[in-house]
Amino acid sequence: MVFIEVFATVFGLLQSLLVLYNKRSNWVFYILQMLCLIAFNLKLKLYGDLLNCFIYLIMGIVGFVLWNNSKKELPITKCSIKERLIYVLTITLSTLIIYLFLKKTQDPKPLIDAFTTSSSFVATYYMLRRSIDTWVIWFVNDISYSIQYVILNTPAYYLMALNIIWTFMAVASYIKWNNILTGDNNEKNLLCR
């Protein structure tokens, strides 16, 4: 079990470094991490996170395709206030729905599992679209995952540490993507694939 947790952590760190620099190859490590997390969540009966990982596996493939090397690559964007309200409502309502389902299972922490599941889907959607708002959602999500992993009956300290690192990387990624969005030429030069 620790072996799987360590590999998921390593793949997650590699993925987060590559996405920080807006690299397409981040999706390869994203997919590898999801494969490890499928096994991990199945063992711990974190069914919301297990569902997440299966969907993420598909989203990882989609992300790899969307973040292609063509000249029509998606630009970094920012959500409107209306879009932000929609994603906050989406996270809130889907958390409630998933929680109602998970509390009928053996899930040890159904509410936080439901929230991390919901916010992860929304954050991944905005990452696929290269919206800077993804980093705000990931920031909150990573803090929540850190808490979830430490309050489990069998704490997952490596994954907790990974999510603490990701919290800081979400801030760094937001700053880097914001520099790209606002036209900092030094940042644009770092986008070579």
Question: In this structure, is residue 143 part of a structural domain?
Answer: yes
Question: In this structure, is residue 10 part of a structural domain?
Answer: yes
Range of the domain at 170: 2-68+79-189
Question: In this structure, is residue 23 part of a structural domain?
Answer: yes
Using CA atoms, how far apart are residues 53 and 39, in angstroms rounded to an integer? 10
Question: In this structure, is residue 156 part of a structural domain?
Answer: yes
Q: pLDDT (tens digit, 9 = 90+) per residue, 70-98?
A: 556 678 899 999 999 999 999 999 999 99
Q: What pLDDT sits at residue 190? A: 45
Tell me: pLDDT of 189 over 50.
Answer: no
The pLDDT of 171-179, averaged and rounded, is 93
Question: In this structure, is residue 29 part of a structural domain?
Answer: yes
Question: In this structure, is residue 73 part of a structural domain?
Answer: no
3-state secondary structure of 57: helix
First to last CA, the chain: 34
Question: In this structure, is residue 129 part of a structural domain?
Answer: yes
pTM of the predicted protein model:
0.81
Q: pLDDT (tens digit, 9 = 90+) per residue, 47-67?
A: 877 888 999 899 999 988 888
| Angle between helix 133-151 and 157-181 (nearest 10) | 170
% of the chain surpassing 70 pLDDT: 92
3-state secondary structure of 69: coil
> Which residues are registered as beta bridge partners of 77?
131
Q: What pLDDT sits at residue 192? A: 36
The pLDDT of 130-142, averaged and rounded, is 96
Torsion sign across C-alpha atoms 172, 177, 182, 185: positive
Comparing CA positions, the residue from 193, 163, 187 lying closest to residue 174 is 187
How many residues are recorded in the chain?
Answer: 193
% of the chain surpassing 90 pLDDT: 58
Tell me: pLDDT of 20 over 90.
Answer: no
Question: In this structure, is residue 74 part of a structural domain?
Answer: no
The total number of structural domains that make up the chain: 1
| Angle between helix 47-66 and 81-102 (nearest 10) | 140
